[in-house]
Amino acid sequence: MKRGFNERTKKLREESIKTQPFISIERAKLYTEAYKKYEGCVSTPILRALSFKYFMENRSLCINNGELIVGEKSEKPQGAPSFPELCCHTLKDFDVMDSREKISFKVSKDARKIQEDEIIPYWKDKSIRKKIFDYMSDDWIDCYENGIFTEFMEQRAPGHTVADGKIYKKGFLDFKKDIQREIDNLDYINDKDAYDKLNQLEAMKISCDAIIIYGKRYAKYARELAENETDEKRKKELLLIAKNCDIVPANSPKNYHQALQMYWFVHIGVTTELNIWDAFSPGRLDQHLIPFYRNDMEDGIINDKKARELLECLWIKFNNQPAPPKVGITLKESGTYTDFANINTGGITPDGFNGVNEVSYLILDTMDEMKLLQPSSNVQISRKTPKNFLKRACEISKKGWGQPAFYNTDAVIQEMLNASKSIEDAREGGVSGCVETGAFGKEAFILTGYLNIPKILEITLNNGYDKVSKKQLGIKTKDPREFKSFDELFEAFKKQLHHFIDIKIKGNNIIESIYSKHMPAPFMSTIISDCITKGKDYNAGGARYNTNYIQGVGIGTITDSLASIKYNIYDNNKFSLDELLKAIDDNFEGHRQILNIVKNKTPKYGNDNNYVDKIMKDIFDAFYLEVTDRPNIKGGKYRINMLPTTCHVYFGSVMTASANGRLAYKPTSEGISPEKGADTNGPTSVIKSASKMDHLKTGGTLLNQKFTPSVVSGDEGLENMASFIKAYFTMDGHHIQFNVIDKETLIDAQNNPDEYNDLIVRVAGYSDHFNNLDKALQDEIIQRTEQSF
Amino acid sequence: MKKAIIMNIQKFCVHDGPGIRTTIFFKGCPLSCIWCHNPESQSFNKEIMFNYEKCNKCGECIKRCKSKALSIKKDNIHYDSSLCNFCENCIDFCINNARNLVGKLFSVSKLMKEIEKDMIFYEESGGGVTLSGGEAMEQIDFIKDLVKQCKHKGISVAIDTCGYTSFQNFENIFNYVDTFLYDIKLINSNKHKKYVGVYNELILKNLRKLSDKGANIHLRLPLIEPVNTSDDDIYNLLDYLKDINISKINLLPYHKIGSHKYKKLNIKYDFNSMKKPSDKRLEEIKSLFKNNNYNVKIGG
């Protein structure tokens, strides 16, 4: 079925999802030309700004047939520009991207040739990636290569920021005036940084010109197309596009349509200036659009149909932009085309009122109709959110494709207050990427890398030695067989944790310094407070708030592993640590009795069992205390969050077996979810366990929950789903998302029963663990599940 | 200390009464319905269920059994329940997890602790605890204390009952119970005796008395062909219900999902003699109730 509100969006969506992503070499080519022209003649910020301007002046324009919002990251949809100044791909990289089975990017012969002749010779010794690896210490490289942690900035620039409302109130001519005012006020007598500030501010001014030129070029191009257009209706639309581009981005938008076009130009600017993690996002789109929507409705120039059609056009624009191609470990930690633009809907207003408005519902309708992975759409649920809105969101979520995700606005705000943000900034903030908390338009909240927490236990159990890489990655904390108590083991784990966090942060500080010196982002800085007033770049601490995150992965796996050791060895003497370590070394082969005990007869996280949940809390606290409030180089602080993207699969692949019965090289647990199959007590127990973690001390946690369709069927089911979410949020849970258990899941469960101990199925008035049913009955249920869709 | 034998505590139940609930399955039942889908709920004693499909006959359980209740007979593991003292060794050491124990003893305070764990969900959803079984009313001394404590803590209580108990027992808990989920199997007493094992006069009388006392009653009607789905069955039932206050009726079509449990308990089960009514017939029955102004739903 073709999805879309009308023929236009059906057609555009179809083109978007059917087009194969490809590498666009245009940006690399133009940036190389610009660098050759300007490098050495001007300061670094100005070099970056002039290159951005050169790109905006010379890049191809694209107006897809039928579309109403214009601008692509490359010359056409699904093109991924490359950023050789950050990561100069080798020809082999290109060949791998071109041919790999998943997340492939086609590379044309021309692109390959340009890469070979022009890009590689210029950039191969100059890229940021090269600089980073040159400066990293041996222990950092060892940890990085062997899966202790990942590094977000080794081939993508720091970003993780989101737009606030200022781009709907000011155009780039206005921003230029703000910048000029700061330049005029520079105090060269008393301010030792005045010259640096001048360069930063001049660079920002140039990037304003760049985006204005880009808009003007689109206005001209649309008029040219209109002139040759024979279809009268399309001719009018092209002229409307031209008119919109006359206004934005130079000036503030005057209506709803222009507001969307304004955002989209900014999005293209930010995501082609650098390949930032994650893309970029309009943040509280419903609240930004509502004044335009209401005005236009009053003036009769828009109706709900038109408003929805334009939202769908924006959704398709997002989906036209695959995430920058990744290679190596960074591909493994985030193997997806999704670029994590995450639109926050609902929540509360900066002055503290319920933020749900007419556009919020239009956004839900759009997300439901478009069913696209990009942009990710979430709903923000606060105490003030009307139940009707929550239920509408549940109605979409129970269709089972993971959107919208649900976020607890009240918790998100408290997390930000706990990180010393003002209440207004906190309320206008929200989440971006997966679940990361930040103050929109005012904060650089940088993810710096995933941390493999269960691997650190594995290394502790081997006296600092990594049996997979055969290297002494950790410190020597004693042969664990000599530990007299569980507490002694836990202390050793904490020492190892400290050791690895030190290595990670040392590396981070160098990497961030490299970016701040060599890779300023003057365009992005223009729209993030307070870069202009500070005269400082985003990458150097110009934002009002500067937070670095380290993301913990595998809390379920490590909790169950430590619980297994405490329960079976220290508390119940079921076997010795030596026996367990031998079983782990043998990947439990020939140790079925021990495997069965640790896997099936030991308390597990996710069952509302205080014995285990306390261990989870202790691990969380150790991680929290180790990281939180360490200073970063931007004058901000480190914080933690708990999310995995696809990194739990990679982290598991570099690990031996675990004390909880997880076999070698299998994925670790993800987010704050229990280990696969460990939660046998139903979903309420999972969220009770999960909420024993102090979410308010984090910058975001991620919880996946699955359910069978019958649980949420009918209006009662919807009410129960809403209550379930509210109960989790009352306990300060940060985020929850739902996956439906479909036929495929059940078939997989039939074939891999060990991984599905938690799967409960319900038919008529009776539930049972799926694993308990014999095959014929399982088949019957599989059949019924298919019927219910 | 009063203790109850509990078969299972199931969290996040959304079909046994309003909202999100915790359902406590008490073990032991005075009835023995031939279609029972929880055969392990009938006996008041602990039982060991054995999943023959998972067993690879390694013999570990026989080695570990201290009371010689297990042996090899005809190439199969044989279990003599009369010898078993439920030491659970055979369960702990079964590497295939083919055995499990049904029936655990709980004191009121221990059970309350479990129930209170999901308090926040009851509050958000208007849910509570459902006492089911087996037949909860059979363990009335325990239930009396339990429902009082629930009321005291503000937890709403529903009782899922077959109604086969002295009315005095209902009197004793009446003020502490918000909803009665009342099962009616058959209106014809002789047929009732044939399929369920007892006559139904007591059950029907109790239903009327509960209604007279003003109880909030949800009727639950299992529908099994050819047992109780004829026009006669339904019309007679409707006739009986005429002056009884029912707030909701759930039609529960027969299913065979419990049949594997019979094998695990080594009980013969003649499931070919019964079947689920056709969807068409279910709709017909539903509309019969609907036409008599009942709030009726197929399913729990």
A543 and A623 in a single domain? The answer is: yes
Using one digit for the tens of pLDDT, what is the confidence trace for A687-705?
Answer: 999 999 999 999 999 998 8
Question: Which overall architecture, per CATH, does domain B47-102 show?
Answer: 2-Layer Sandwich (3.30)
> What is the pLDDT averaged over residues A605-610?
97
Question: By mean pLDDT, which of A461-475, A729-743, A772-786, B31-45 is the weakest?
Answer: A772-786
Whether B49 contacts B99, CB under 8 Å: yes
How many residues comprise chain B?
A: 300
- Whether A265 is covered by a domain: the verdict is no
A682 and A535 housed in the same domain:
yes
Q: Are residues A639 and A777 in the same domain?
A: no
Could you tell me if residue A724 is inside a domain?
no
Q: Is residue A624 part of a domain?
A: yes
B20 neighbourhood in chain A, CB within 8 Å: 684, 720, 723-724, 727
**What residues of B are in contact with residue A772 (Cβ under 8 Å)?**
51, 260
Substitution target in B22, B61, B260 with the highest count of A β-carbons within 10 Å is: B260
- Does residue A763 surpass a pLDDT of 50? no
Q: Is the pLDDT of residue A253 over 70?
A: yes
The reply to whether residue A764 touches residue B259, judged by beta carbons under 8 angstroms, is no
Regions of chain B with pLDDT less than 70:
none
Query: Would the pLDDT of A156 be above 70?
Result: yes
- Alpha helices for A429-485 (secondary structure H): 453-460
* A102, A120, A135 - which closes a domain: A135
Over residues A196-216, the pLDDT tens digits come to 999 999 999 999 999 999 999
User: What percentage of chain A exceeds 90 in pLDDT?
Assistant: 83
Consecutive H or E run containing B6: strand B3-13
CA A548, CA A627: separation in Å to the nearest integer?
Answer: 10
Is the model's pLDDT at A446 over the cut of 50? Answer: yes
Cα–Cα distance measured from residue A398 to residue A736, given in angstroms and rounded to the nearest whole number: 13
Is residue A232 assigned to a domain?
A: no
What is the distance between the alpha carbons of residues B204 and B227, in angstroms, rounded to a whole number? 18
On the 0-12 / 13-18 / 19+ scale of CB atoms within 10 A, A230 is: exposed
Which pLDDT does position B238 carry in this prediction?
Answer: 95
The number of C-alpha atoms within 13 Å of B119 and in the hemisphere containing its C-beta is 11
Q: Decide which of A105, A135, A165 is a domain's last residue.
A: A135
List the structure tokens of B173: 């808990």
Give me the pLDDT at residue A764, please. 43
Domain B3-44+103-298, CATH among 3.30.70.100, 3.40.50.20, 3.20.20.70, 3.40.50.720: 3.20.20.70
- Claim to verify: residue A22 and residue A82 sit in the same structural domain: yes
Asked if A685 has any chain B CB less than 8 Å from its own CB, the reply is yes
| Contact call for residues A318 and A324 (beta carbons, < 8 A) | no
- Residue A789 scores a pLDDT above 50: no
Which whole number is the average pLDDT over A622-636?
Answer: 97
What pLDDT was estimated at residue A765?
Answer: 45
Q: Does A682 touch chain B (CB under 8 A)?
A: yes
SS3 A384: coil
Q: Is A65 on the interface with B (CB under 8 A)?
A: no
Structure confidence by residue, pLDDT tens digits, A72-101: 999 999 999 999 999 999 999 999 999 988
Q: How confident is the model at residue A20 (pLDDT cuts 50, 70, 90)?
A: very high
Judgement on whether residues A679 and A758 belong to the same structural domain of the protein: no
- Residues of A marked active site are found at 434, 436
Query: A711 and B263 in contact by Cβ < 8 A?
Result: no
Helix axes A610-627 and A555-565, enclosed angle (nearest 10): 120
Q: Are strands B248-253 and B217-223 parallel, antiparallel or unpaired?
A: parallel
Predicted complex ipTM: 0.91
B interface test, pick of A574, A711, A760, A774 with most B CB neighbours within 10 Å: A774
**To the nearest whole percent, how much of chain A has pLDDT over 70?**
97
Name the domain count of chain A: 3
Considering the domain architecture, whether residues A664 and A523 belong to the same structural domain is answered as yes
Spatial separation of the C-alpha atoms in residues A713 and A723, rounded to whole Å: 14
Does position A424 have pLDDT exceeding 60, yes or no? yes
- pLDDT of A785 higher than 60: no
The secondary structure element, H or E, covering residue A688 is helix A683-690
Q: What is the dihedral of CA A289, A290, A292, A297, to 10 degrees?
A: 130
My answer on whether A755 and A697 are in the same domain is no
Among B7, B50, B53, B124, pick the best mutation site for testing chain A contact (most A Cβ within 10 A): B124
Comparing C-alpha atoms, which of A524, A515, A656 is closest to residue A581?
A656
Dihedral sign, Cα of residue A258, residue A263, residue A265, residue A266:
positive
Rounded to the nearest angstrom, the gap between the alpha carbon of residue B46 and the centroid of all alpha carbons in its chain is 16
Backbone angles phi, psi at A377, to 5 degrees: -125, 135
Residues A545 and A681 in one domain: yes
How many Cβ atoms sit within 10 Å of the Cβ of residue B272?
7
pLDDT, position A788: 36
Q: Between B20, B258, B259, which is nearest A684 by CB?
A: B20
- Strand pairing partners for B49? B100
pTM: 0.93
Contact B14 A711 (CB under 8 A): yes
Residue B269 corresponds to which tokens in the numbers above? 């089960």
Kindly report the backbone phi and psi dihedral angles of residue B202, in degrees, each rounded to the nearest multiple of 5, phi listed first.
-60, -40
Q: What is the mean pLDDT of residues A489-513?
A: 98
- Is residue A522 a part of any domain in this protein? yes
Domain with A590 in it? 445-702
Is A604 within the bounds of a domain?
A: yes
Residues A470, A464 contacting (CB under 8 angstroms): no
pLDDT at residue A777 above 80?
A: no
Do A776 and A647 fall into the same domain?
A: no
Position A784 scores a pLDDT of: 61
Report domain extents, chain B. 3-44+103-298, 47-102
- Share the mean pLDDT of chain A: 93
Examine the domain organization and report whether A469 and A586 are in the same domain.
yes
Tell me whether residues A731 and B37 touch, CB distance under 8 A.
no
Q: Using alpha carbons, select from A342, A361, A350 the residue that is nearest to residue A431.
A: A342
Mean pLDDT for A710-737 is 92
Residue A109 banded pLDDT, cuts 50, 70, 90? very high
d(CA B163, CA B166): 9
> For A330-355, what is each residue's pLDDT tens digit?
787 777 788 888 899 999 999 999 99
CA-only gyration radius of chain B, Å: 21
Q: How many CB pairs under 8 A join A and B?
A: 98
Q: Quick: pLDDT tens for A304-322.
A: 999 999 999 999 999 999 9
Q: Is residue A112 assigned to a domain?
A: yes
Q: Are residues A672 and A615 in the same domain?
A: yes
Look at residue A558 and tell me if it is in a domain. Answer: yes
For residues B161 and B136, is the Cβ–Cβ distance under 8 A? Answer: yes
The answer to whether the Cβ–Cβ distance between A777 and B38 falls below 8 Å is no
